Amino acid sequence: MTVEDRLRALITVLEPAGVGSTGGTAVRPTATVKDNIDVAGVATTAGSASFATGPAEADADVVRLLRMAGFALVGKTNLAEFAMGATGRNAAFGDCLNAWDPARIAGGSSSGSAVAVAAGLSDVSLGTDTGGSGRIPASVNGIVGIRPTLGRVSTAGVLPVSPSFDTVTPMARDVRAAAGVLAALDPAFEAHRSGELPRIGVAGGFFAAAVEPGVAEVVRAAVALFRGLGAPVVPVEVPSAAEAQARMLDVMYPEAAAVHAVRLRTAPERIDPDVRRRLRLGLAVPPERTAAAREWLTGFRARVDALFTEVDVVLTPTIPVDVPLREGVDLAASTREIARFTYAWSAYGGPALSVPGGRHPASGMPVGVQLSAAPGREDVLVRAAEAFERARGPLR
């Protein structure tokens, strides 16, 4: 059994010309893409046995840009059905398994993208991130995942979850490679790796509450490492962060229900029961509540903008718990718990990345550190994350 079969990271295996070629021809770097992103001539399943209707007519914008940058596409990756789920579960194609420990969740919804990179099936991958779907699997599989500023990278040719919050997520084993993918998707991006380390704000309050002790230990060590590097480090509070997930869901769920309205009406039994339940939550949100949530989010973004006049980067755990075991995990409850620190930054709209912070002192599993910044400031995230990564050394 191959690695991709054992981990169930890939839905479709592609064999592009020139990969691994010899005789003087340079080997091209390899990429996989989440199977809610169109690749010309290949069916897009969106992780659903009933979704694909035929090969995509054209590449998604991000796939076209990857090809132009010289990447060879080698596969389309597994995901939670319709990109809705944080554990890696998929009833149609099989649950994707964590690259470090198959008994633990792979994260989601970009599970296969993270596992493909962590297991060495591709050099880089593209996931998507709405409420944490790129950062969570990056964290639990010990790789880097970058959620760009909302709107920075095209989502044309990507099946939406919620257009108000959807992004495409570059994923790689190290920060430099992930930043290189972002540069391929947006040539205007420049990492600006030289210069002083950014001012680091360590988030307390909501982001320190109910954090599992082993995760908190790794985060404290990350903060100490930044201090040791000479970065200015101060405690901060992210205003209203505890409310952000609920307010965001009042927008996200109705948008997701609208994407799948026909399917919900005509063939609901063909949708995974947990996904169907979450889509139907969107049908129950009255328009006035969604309008109120949008107004609240505007104010939230202004309050967090003010915080970023005092610091350049805010540091938090990516997820507040050790990587959960797959057996007996409650999908709905685990999604709320696992994603509570990622949703806040999705609601804000600036860039955020997960970088491996270290290994959990009890389980040995990777623990992700989340770095977030003001809109358009991916450069400061990359600078901080690269400095941290160099000082931390390899996880394995």
Rg, Å, the chain Cα set: 20
Q: Which helix (H) or strand (E) holds 302?
A: helix 287-307
Contacts of residue 300, defined as CB under 8 A and 6 or more positions apart, other chains included, come to 239, 240, 243, 244, 247, 347, 348
The Cα–Cα gap between 94 and 100 comes to: 18
∠ Cα 204 210 214 (to 5°)? 95
The Cα–Cα gap between 9 and 188 comes to: 31
Q: Is 76 a catalytic residue?
A: no
Q: Which of 119, 35, 158, 146 is nearest to 368 (CA)?
A: 146
**3 state DSSP class of 150:** coil
CA 128 to chain centre: 6
Q: Is 34 a catalytic residue?
A: yes
Q: Which of 85, 141, 79 is nearest to 110 (CA)?
A: 79
Q: Cα(first)–Cα(last) distance of the chain, in Å?
A: 24
User: Do residues 174 and 180 make contact, with C-beta atoms less than 8 angstroms apart?
Assistant: no
The Cα–Cα gap between 252 and 246 comes to: 10
Tell the residue number behind the tokens 């633990």, with chain if given: 104
Contacts of residue 258, defined as CB under 8 A and 6 or more positions apart, other chains included, come to 282
Q: Which of 164, 186, 179 is nearest to 346 (CA)?
A: 164
Q: Which of 34, 76, 122, 125 is catalytic?
A: 34
The Cα–Cα gap between 75 and 116 comes to: 9
Q: Which helix (H) or strand (E) holds 175?
A: helix 175-185
Q: Which of 48, 109, 164, 372 is catalytic?
A: 109
DSSP track, 39-68: -BTSB--TT-TTT--SBBSS--HHHHHHHH
**Both tokens of residue 98?**
């964590």
Q: Which of 48, 133, 139, 372 is catalytic?
A: 133
Tell me the catalytic residues. 34, 109, 133
